[in-house]
DNA sequence: TTCCAGCATA
DNA sequence: TATGCGGGAA
């Protein structure tokens, strides 16, 4: 008797929530801070991103107009702790330019666009990939988009729920077609998968025995 | 020395 | 498909 995917996904969520509790994502004061954090945290530890964001905050630069004016070299210097700083400075500038030129720097306006249109628009910005964009949509815009990341893939794959070659879109569809389209649920679910990935489902030496998903 | 809330390029 | 990008923490 093979269980329905939706039941398995619900059980994963329940187990993780009972073990870890609410994760309170995304740690940011404003939607714009979510966007900046989403770009800065690309393949970087969040602790280091916090330092970079703190630098921007201290200088009063954490707004679309301020970053729009700031030279990319200055920006790179300030976000150094988050790593890949020259690259990420360009990416931040690209996003802010997009936001200023198309939405007058107004994120509320941007998030009013139909999700599929907006997602396609954002995908055209160099340096914004699917995970970054979906994080912005879900955590910045409170839109019902499921965020997939390396932890999500690893956890599903190790439990034989998806094969090796599964794509981002396929994993995203798996969640979105088998769960109610609830932003709060998607918010908590992704955050819990990250928590599980960091604590147990590690890249090289996974701790399967004490993992809350053991025996799934 | 590894690894991190990825992405673009060749 | 592999590689560059990179500082900071474990």
pLDDT at site A64: 98
- The mean per-residue pLDDT over the stretch A84-99 comes to 98
pLDDT-above-90 percentage for chain A = 98
pLDDT, tens only, A156-198: 999 999 999 999 999 999 999 999 999 999 999 999 999 999 9
Main-chain dihedrals φ then ψ at residue A93, nearest 5 degrees: -60, -45
pLDDT at site A2: 72
pLDDT at site A150: 97
Q: How far is the CA of A47 from the C1' of C9 (A)?
A: 9
pLDDT-above-70 percentage for chain A = 100
Q: How far is the CA of A78 from the C1' of C1 (A)?
A: 34
- The mean per-residue pLDDT over the stretch A109-136 comes to 98
Nearest residue: Cα versus C1' of C10: A45
- The mean per-residue pLDDT over the stretch A24-43 comes to 98
User: Which nucleotide lies closest to A191 by the C1' atom and the CA atom?
Assistant: B5
pLDDT at site A3: 82
Contact present, A32 and A15 (Cβ < 8 Å): no
| Alpha-helical runs (H) found in A60-182 | 64-69, 72-78, 85-103, 107-111, 115-123, 130-135, 150-158, 168-176
Contact present, A144 and A181 (Cβ < 8 Å): yes
Main-chain dihedrals φ then ψ at residue A43, nearest 5 degrees: 45, 45
- The mean per-residue pLDDT over the stretch A67-94 comes to 98
* Mean pLDDT for all residues in chain A: 97
- Whole-angstrom Cα distance, residue A107 to residue A150? 27
- How many Cβ atoms from other residues are within 10 Å of residue A94's Cβ? 17
Strand B nucleotides where any atom sits below 7 Å of a protein CB:
2-9
Cα distances (angstroms) measured from residue A162 to each of A130, A147, A153, A176: 19, 16, 8, 15
Bond preceding residue A26 cis, omega within 30 of 0: yes
The model's confidence at residue A1, banded by pLDDT at 50, 70 and 90, is: low
User: Which nucleotide lies closest to A81 by the C1' atom and the CA atom?
Assistant: C7
């Amino acid at each position: 008797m093979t269980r329905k995917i939706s039941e398995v996904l619900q059980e994963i969520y329940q187990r993780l929530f009972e073990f870890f509790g609410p994760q309170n994502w995304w740690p940011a004061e404003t939607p714009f801070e979510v966007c900046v954090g989403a770009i800065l945290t690309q393949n970087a530890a969040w602790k280091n991103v916090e330092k970079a964001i703190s630098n921007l905050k201290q200088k009063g630069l954490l707004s679309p107009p301020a970053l729009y004016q700031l030279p990319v070299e200055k920006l790179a210097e300030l976000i150094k702790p988050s790593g890949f700083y020259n690259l990420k400075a360009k990416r931040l500038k690209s996003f802010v330019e997009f936001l200023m030129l198309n939405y007058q720097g107004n994120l509320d306006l941007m998030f009013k666009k139909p999700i599929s249109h907006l997602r396609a628009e954002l995908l055209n910005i160099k340096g914004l990939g699917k995970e970054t964009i979906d994080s912005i949509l879900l955590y910045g815009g409170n839109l019902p988009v499921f965020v997939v990341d390396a932890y999500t893939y690893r956890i599903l794959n190790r439990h034989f729920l998806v094969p090796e070659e599964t794509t981002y879109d396929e994993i995203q569809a798996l969640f979105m077609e088998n769960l109610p389209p609830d932003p709060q649920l998607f918010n908590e679910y992704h955050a819990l998968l990250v928590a599980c990935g960091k604590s147990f489902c590690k890249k090289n030496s996974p701790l399967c025995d004490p993992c809350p998903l053991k025996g799934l």
